[in-house]
Amino acid sequence: MDIRPTAIPDVRLVVPVRKPDARGFLYEVYRRGDLEAAGLPCDFVQENHVVSERPGTVRGLHFQGPPDAQDKLVRVVRGRTLDVALDLRRSSPMFGRHVAAELSADNGHQLLIPKGFAHGFCTLEPHTEVVYKATNYHSPERSYGVLWSDPALGIKWPVDATSAVMSDADRARPRLCDLPAFFD
């Protein structure tokens, strides 16, 4: 596994090594030892599978607050997404900044998003499927979000607010400046 830094050092791009042969290919999508060797011990306890039928579907920006905060390892098994990790750690010099990466079934790239970040994505193809591992169980009472289209974030989404397919809850999320401090 090739574990690469991003513009925000705590967020990592994980690139599995593909081993092609006449039948197709094989790659290891998760090797605990490789993450630990890179200083990223992640004890994943839950895996989720998300299906979005239409391109331009936006999910996020979501996070869980302490004590149920989660690290996530996100990958696309069908289609393509623009995946975003937003730093919510108030003490971080990167607070309010984000990293965006294109994840696809073709490139096999994964995004490792640590606690203290909000995560969201926009589908770029129909019938896109996202799978992610999490280090804590889903906690509805500690599930929060940030408004995906908050202009202060400077995220260049590939869809505008009028054509984005999304939940009413995600459309009503607070802007970053209105969000309480969850991660100091």
Active site residue 27: no
Q: Please state whether beta strands 143-145 and 58-64 pair in parallel, antiparallel, or not at all (unpaired).
A: antiparallel
Token representation of residue 127: 């019938």
Active site residue 127: no
Residue with tokens 């408004």: 147
Report yes or no: 70 and 131 within 8 Å, Cβ to Cβ.
no
34: amino acid identity, one letter: D
Which of 98, 109, 119, 132 is flagged as catalytic?
Answer: 132
Peptide bond just before 67 cis, omega within 30 deg: yes
CB atoms within 10 A of CB 58: 25
175: DSSP letter: P
Which of 27, 49, 62, 98 is flagged as catalytic?
Answer: 62
Report yes or no: 127 and 79 within 8 Å, Cβ to Cβ.
yes
Q: Catalytic positions, please? A: 62, 132
